[in-house]
Every structure is written in structure tokens, then in C-alpha cells.
């Protein structure tokens, strides 16, 4: 299928333009509060009130961190999910149009088990657990989120990837009727993200089905999304409809659309700046007005667990 040739992406198409014209050091601490309170009243109420069915899960103490989790309202009211709009408040306002049942996922490529599976097929064998993970966005903001789900490796191993499977690619639903942001050529839809197979099989890699003990809200990637806590948030594919194993590195969406700004790996690395801002520090959403910035941790604080994946790799060239 021929790729849509897009003009260079403007800053206003990547992150709301008004955020770039603010004085970052003065107002960045208020972004989380401003984003949530800027929602229309009905949308804000929907974001604040936990929705969806309660999930049966166990808490995995191994993946709990000392940081206090963000509130449900912050987690569900301040998001990057361009399929519903480029503003941080657009997903909460617009994601109600998404219907997550029925839902199916197609699996293909270098794997022994391929085909189309219902979401019930995907979820049934997996006991759910809660993991409290750091979530870091490339725009230098962060959250702490109590995700509910299961190890990504447990799912991928069911499809018996062959020895030729060096990468795994995830594709998001393409349906402009349900996802109004796709009516604009902001990105080359559908959204595609990919990982090296060893990254995807790492014990930290998580397939998410819920948050705060309830089914995942649409704006957070329902019914199924990936979370890689040592990478920037855009590596965490949402509303997944296709999984494909491949021998060659796939062309993931952001690396194609803005290759000078978003590399394939997207590991959190404070020494590698985004061309338009520093990644050396971050602000925790919900920290309040004038909240102090804090140093960004290498691999988002998970260096002890994942640094070995990248031994011998130039992390400046492979950003």
C-alpha cells in the first residue's frame, strides 16, 4: 500500500501549540491541573469517575514503586492519543465514540500460530495483576500509574514466534468514524509501533487491560494496550487490532513521520535531548503550580533491569 506523503509536521500538530508558547519553567507545573480542569464539565466527570467493570487481579509487589500514583482523573484526563485529537484533553472528550466490543486481533508473520482472535480469546488464559509503573512522555512530563494486565511475553509466546522473528509490530485500529482524530492527516494512519523481540519478551513489558482495578478507559487505549516503562509513552501501542512478527525492523509511525525527533528505540535517556526541548528533567503531572522539576532517570528508573538489552548499542545514534 503506498504511503501517504505528508508535509513536515508542525509543532502545533504534535503537541498543542499553546503549550510551546508558554514559558516552560513558569507554567509547566500547572499543565496537569490545567488540562484536567479545562475539560468540559461532563467530560471531566466521566474522566474522574472510575468506569468500566471491576477486574479480578492480584497486586504484584515486585513492581510497586514508592512514588504515589497519580489520581484516576489525572491518568484518564491528560493523554496523548492522536486518534482522538492532538490536545491532551481531546482523548477524554472524544473517546466515547469508540466501541471495544466486539473486538478482534489479527496475528501474522513469523509465528507458528496465526489468525484472527477475539478479545475474549486473547484475555481468557491470563490471570491479571496490578503493577505500579512510571510513565514518561517525550514532552518531559510523567505520571505514576497502577496498570492492570499481564506480561506481554505470556501473550506473544502463545503465538510461537519462529527463530526468524526479530521484531514484533503492533497496529492500532483505523476507523475515522470512531476515532475523529484520524480524519486529519496528522500522522500516516493507522498507527504502528514495534519492538525488538527481546524487548517485548522482557519481564517488565506489560499488556494492559485496566487501570485502578477497572477496565481500561477508551482514552487510555482500550481494550488492549502495551506499556514499556523504560521507554517514552509513544512506544506503548493502544487499541491494538494487529500483531505481526517480522525478521526486519518495521517502520514505526513516529520514526517515519518525524525521524529527526523520534527514533525507533525511544528509551528514556536524559542525555539525549529532543530537538525542541531538554529531556534532562521532568514534571510530574498533578504536582501543582510551580512544582519543582525533577531529574529524569536513565531508562525511567529501570536501568538495573533493562540496560543489558542495549550493551554495545550507541544510545545517541539509536535514540
pLDDT in tens, 174-192: 999 999 999 999 999 999 9
The rounded radius of gyration (Å) of the Cα atoms in the chain is 18
pLDDT in tens, 68-105: 999 999 999 999 999 999 999 999 999 999 999 999 99
Q: What is the per-residue DSSP string for 72-109?
A: HHHHHHS---GGG-SSTTHHHHHGGG---SS-EEEEEE
CATH number of 16-310: 3.90.420.10
pLDDT in tens, 251-309: 999 999 999 999 999 999 999 999 999 999 999 999 876 788 999 999 999 999 999 99
- Per-residue confidence (pLDDT) for residue 47, from 0 to 100: 52
Q: Please report which confidence band the pLDDT of residue 30 belongs to, taking 50, 70 and 90 as the band edges.
A: very low
CB under 8 Å to 256, separation ≥6 — which residues?
A: 3, 188
Examine the pLDDT at 41 and tell me if it is beyond 60.
Answer: no
Instruction: For residues 305 and 202, give the distance between their C-alpha atoms in angstroms, rounded to a whole number.
Output: 9
Residue 21: all three cell numbers together: 508558547
Kindly compute the dihedral angle of the four CA atoms of residues 43, 48, 50, 52, in this order, to the nearest 10 degrees: 10
The pTM of this model reads: 0.87
Amino acid at each position: 500500500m503506498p504511503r501517504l506523503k505528508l508535509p513536515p509536521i508542525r509543532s502545533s500538530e504534535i503537541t498543542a501549540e499553546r503549550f510551546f508558547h508558554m514559558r516552560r519553567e513558569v507554567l509547566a507545573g500547572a499543565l496537569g491541573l490545567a488540562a484536567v480542569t479545562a475539560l468540559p464539565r461532563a467530560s471531566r466527570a466521566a474522566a474522574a469517575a472510575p468506569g468500566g467493570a471491576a477486574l479480578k487481579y492480584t497486586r504484584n509487589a515486585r513492581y510497586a514503586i514508592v512514588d504515589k500514583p497519580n489520581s484516576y482523573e489525572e491518568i484518564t484526563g491528560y493523554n496523548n492519543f492522536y486518534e482522538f485529537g492532538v490536545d491532551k484533553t481531546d482523548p477524554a472528550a472524544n473517546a466515547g465514540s469508540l466501541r471495544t466490543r466486539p473486538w478482534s486481533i489479527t496475528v501474522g508473520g513469523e509465528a507458528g500460530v496465526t489468525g484472527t482472535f477475539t478479545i475474549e480469546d486473547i484475555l481468557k488464559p491470563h490471570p491479571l495483576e496490578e503493577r505500579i509503573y512510571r510513565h514518561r512522555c517525550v514532552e518531559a512530563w510523567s505520571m505514576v500509574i497502577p496498570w492492570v494486565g499481564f506480561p506481554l511475553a505470556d501473550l506473544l509466546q502463545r503465538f510461537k514466534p519462529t527463530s526468524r522473528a526479530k521484531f514484533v509490530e503492533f497496529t492500532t485500529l483505523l476507523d475515522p468514524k470512531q476515532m475523529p482524530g484520524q480524519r486529519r492527516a496528522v500522522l500516516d494512519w493507522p498507527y504502528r509501533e514495534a519492538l525488538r523481540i527481546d524487548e517485548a519478551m522482557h519481564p517488565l513489558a506489560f499488556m494492559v487491560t485496566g487501570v485502578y482495578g477497572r477496565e481500561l478507559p477508551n482514552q487510555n487505549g482500550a481494550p488492549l494496550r502495551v506499556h514499556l516503562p523504560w521507554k517514552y509513552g509513544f512506544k506503548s501501542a493502544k487499541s491494538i487490532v494487529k500483531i505481526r512478527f517480522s525478521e526486519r525492523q518495521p517502520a514505526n509511525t513516529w520514526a517515519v513521520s518525524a525521524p529527526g525527533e523520534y527514533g525507533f528505540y525511544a528509551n528514556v535517556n536524559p542525555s539525549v535531548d529532543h530537538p525542541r526541548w531538554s529531556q534532562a528533567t521532568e514534571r510530574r503531572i498533578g504536582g501543582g503550580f510551580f512544582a519543582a522539576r525533577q531529574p529524569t532517570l536513565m531508562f525511567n528508573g529501570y536501568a538495573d533491569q533493562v540496560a543489558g538489552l542495549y550493551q554495545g548499542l550507541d544510545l545517541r545514534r539509536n535514540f
